[in-house]
Structure 1
Amino acid sequence: MADLRQDWEPVVVRKKAPTSGAKKDEKAVNAARRSGAELETIKKFNAGSNKAATSATGLNTKRLDDETDVLAHEKVSGELKKNLMQARLDKKYTQAQLAQLINEKPQIVQEYESGKAIPNQQIITKLERILGVKLRGKK
C-alpha cells in the first residue's frame, strides 16, 4: 500500500515589497555623498503638495489686504419688516401660523421680522400673497 501521509508544513507566499524610485534615488545620493562626489541638490517649491502656486506665494493675500470694501449680505429693509409685522398682526396670525401657510420654517418669518434675513423674492412674494398686501414698494 502507498504511503498516504500528508505534508502539513505551512507554506507562506509573500508578495515582493514594492520598491519606489525615491528610495533608489536617495540611496544613490547617499552613496555619492559618502564617496565625496560633488552634488547639487535642488529643493522644489511646493513639490508634492496640493496647494495652488498663488496661495503659497501670497499674490492673492496682498490683494485681499489692499481691499477696503466692507463686504456684507443685504438685509431686509426696515420698511419691509414693519409692513410684514403689521400685516401679520392685522390677519391675527402668529409667526408659526404664517410660516406654515407659506410652507417655510417659523425661523424664516422671525428673521424677516427682525431684519436679519437675506431677502429672497420668492419668500416675499409668498408672504404678500398670503397676507394680501404689498410688502415692498408703495402700498
Structure 2
Amino acid sequence: QLSTISCRLVKQTYCLCASTFCVSLLCKKTSQIKMSESDWDTVTVLRKKAPKAATLKTESAINKARRQGIPVETTQKFNAGTNKQHVAAKNTAKLDRETDELRHKTVAPSVAKLIMQGRQAKGLSQKDLATQICEKPQIVNDYEAGRGIPNNLILGKIERVIGIKLRGKDIGSPMVPPGKK
C-alpha cells in the first residue's frame, strides 16, 4: 500500500511504504532527514552542510558572525578584475633607490617616425593599428610620440602590420615575407 502525503510547511513529500519512511526533497538537497517509526513528532537531522563562504560575503552575515563570537577573517583581493598588459620589465624599485637621474629607455625618435610613416602609408589610424595588434590606442600613441618603453612583442606586431623592420641592424627596410630571401 503506497500513499503520498505533502507537507506544506517543510515542502517535502513523505512516501509511506510498509513501515519505512522515504524523504524526497523538492527543493535543495541540504540535509537528510530520518523519521523515527515510534515517534511521529521527532525529526533527526543526520547531516547538515556548513554555510558556504559565498553566503558570508554580505555585510549582515559578517555582522551576525561577529555577534555570535565566530572569528571573522576579511581579505581583500589583490589586482582582481584588472587586465593589465605588458608590464615594463625594468626594475622600477631599483630606479627609485638611485639618486642619479635615471630613466627608462624609450623608443628612438627614428623608430617612432617609421611607425607613423608606415601606418599612414597603409592608410590606418592609430586606433585601427591598435586594433590590429590587439593593444590600446594609447600604446600606439606613446610609441609614435617616442614616449613608449620598447617591448619586443609590441614592436614585432607593429612590424608585421606596417611591413617595415623596426628592430635589428636594417631598421626601416621593408619586411620580407617568410620563405623569400
CA-atom RMSD in angstroms: 1.4
> Aligned-pair distance for 1:71?
1.2
Percent sequence identity over aligned pairs: 47
Distance in 2, matches of 1:113 and 1:73, equals 17
More strand by share: 2
- TM-score w.r.t. the length of structure 1 is 0.50
> Aligned-pair distance for 1:68?
5.5
Cross-structure match for 1:79: 110
> Aligned-pair distance for 1:70?
1.8
Secondary structure of 1:100's partner?
A: helix
> Aligned-pair distance for 1:86?
0.5
Bigger relative contact order, structure 1 or 2 (CA pairs below 8 A, ≥6 apart): 1
Which deviations, in whole Å up to 9, do the C-alpha atoms of 1:79-99 show, x marking residues without a partner?
Answer: 110110000000000000000
The counterpart of 1:94, out of the listed 125, 129, 134, is: 125
Cross-structure match for 1:126: 157
Secondary structure of 2:153's partner?
A: helix
- TM-score w.r.t. the length of structure 2 is 0.39
> Aligned-pair distance for 1:69?
2.9
Distance in 2, matches of 1:85 and 1:105, equals 16
Q: What are the within-5 Å matches in structure 2 for residues 1-139 of structure 1?
A: 69-136=100-167, 137-138=169-170, 139=173
Distance in 2, matches of 1:68 and 1:117, equals 23
Which runs of 5 or more structure 1 residues have no equivalent in the other structure?
A: 1-63
> Aligned-pair distance for 1:105?
0.4
* Count of residues paired in the alignment: 74
* Moved beyond 3 Å, runs of 4+: none
